[in-house]
Copies of this chain bind each other. A is one copy, B any other.
Amino acid sequence: MSVINSKKPKASVTLTDVAQLAGVSLATASKALNGRSQVRAETRQKVIEAAAALSFTPNPFAQALNASHTGTIGMLTSDLDNRFVLPVLLGAEDAFGSGATSVLLCDARGDAVREQHHLNTLLARRVDGIVVLGRTTNPRPSITAGVPVPVVYAYAPSDDPADTSFTPDNYTAGRQAIEHLLARGRRSIALVNGEPSYTAATDRAAGARDAMREAGLELTGGDELYGQWSESWGRQCTETLLASGRPIDAILAGSDQIARGVLEQLRETGHHVPAEVAVMGFDNWDILSATARPPLTSIDMNLQELGRAAARALSDAISGTTEPGVHRLPVRLVPRESTASVQRL
């Protein structure tokens, strides 16, 4: 590929010109010049020849193609002021920072215009690659096309399956939670869920429902007990469930925050946890789970590990190796007293 950077760039030549000459899309031209594995060898060759013919060598390309990297990567967050973002950021910073790579941090604050501004800044600074860190696990628009360096998506996966994304496996999280409660002998299990516009809520519900069906059971109160990600929703829904008179021996809450409300409502109405009703949540947010009364069993989403995995994947992509697709990473059950095996009342 050294044919490309041996010539001076012409300011008027753009990636679009290269794509046109090669007869490929802009996205394909971008991916070809970055050594992405999902571009066929002959396509890449065409693009490289077109780039060479046009003397297409803007600086970021020259950097990437020369492997004369700047040793910096961009971390483009959607919303730093979000508790799910921090552990992912922490894991990624750890993975990069312990090596020779420095992290340029940009926060878009949920604003697409600001995101584009930051993206331009990162490219002007010749970053070797970018981690795009979303605030929810809902898919987000891909920014990969037209970006001349590798991009990896963390927490919020890209909506383009050709991109490389890392997100927690919420479906399996739902399954694991139900399997844990079933193993504790619970059969009448309700799922007090969060907001249905979040795939975190719907994916966990799908996993929970499937695990129940495989055991020949249905979720008590149905699988549509959606509400808010709040303690008050946990209290309110628990009150309704108890008032319905249906037997209930476990409540799976859509988050630790909801679970705190569930626990409080059960305690104040004289229902013993876990003897009468087992309770568990998702997220394993220590401030809520470990300090609950009783301490709350939860599913840890392994967000730091997710950040590290995204960082490693970006480093690999910068070296030319990619594994495109949405990688759903394992989660982890953290059992505590709220689902402990006890002499049933």
Q: Which residues of A contact B (CB under 8 A)?
A: 72, 75, 80-81, 83, 86-87, 89-90, 93-94, 97, 100, 102-107, 109, 118, 121-122, 125, 230-232, 257, 287-288, 291
Contact yes or no, A86 B97, CB < 8 A:
no
A94 contact set on B, CB distance < 8 A: 107, 109
What is the minimal beta-carbon distance from A152 to any residue of chain B, in angstroms?
17
Establish whether residues B291 and A230, one from each chain, have CB atoms under 8 Å apart when the complex forms. yes
Sample of 8 further A-B pairs with CB below 8 A, known A93-B107, A257-B287: A72-B104, A80-B86, A97-B107, A97-B118, A102-B122, A105-B105, A232-B291, A287-B287
Q: Are A291 and B97 in contact (CB under 8 A)?
A: no
What are 23 A-B pairs at a CB distance below 8 A? A72-B104, A75-B105, A80-B89, A80-B93, A81-B86, A81-B87, A81-B90, A83-B287, A90-B107, A93-B105, A93-B106, A93-B107, A97-B107, A100-B121, A102-B104, A102-B106, A102-B121, A102-B122, A104-B104, A104-B105, A230-B291, A232-B291, A257-B287
Instruction: Tell me the bound Cα distance from A281 to B103 in angstroms.
Output: 36
Distance, CA A93 to CA B104, complexed state (A): 11
State the CA gap A121–B118 with chains docked (Å): 23
Question: Which chain B positions have C-beta within 8 A of A83?
Answer: 287
Distance between Cα atoms of A104 and B93 in the complex (Å):
11
Residue among A83, A86, A94, A230 with most chain B CB within 10 A: A86
Residues of the B chain whose Cβ atoms lie less than 8 Å from the Cβ of A106:
93, 97, 102-103
Verify B107–A105 contact, CB threshold 8 A. Answer: no
CB nearest to A232 among chain B residues: B291
With a cutoff of 8 Å between Cβ atoms, the chain B residues found around residue A72 in the complex are: 104, 125
Rounded to whole Å, the gap between the CB of A264 and the closest CB of chain B is 8
Please name the residue on chain B nearest to A70 by beta carbon: B125
CA distance A231 to B106 in the complex (A): 35
Complex Cα spacing A224 to B37, Å = 65
Tell me the complex Cα distance, A341–B83, Å: 34
Bound CA span A75–B94, Å: 14
Taking CB atoms, residues of chain B closer than 8 Å to A125 are: 72, 102
Closest A-B pairs by Cβ, 3 of them: A105-B105, A103-B105, A80-B90
CB-defined contacts of A104 to chain B, threshold 8 Å: 72, 102-105
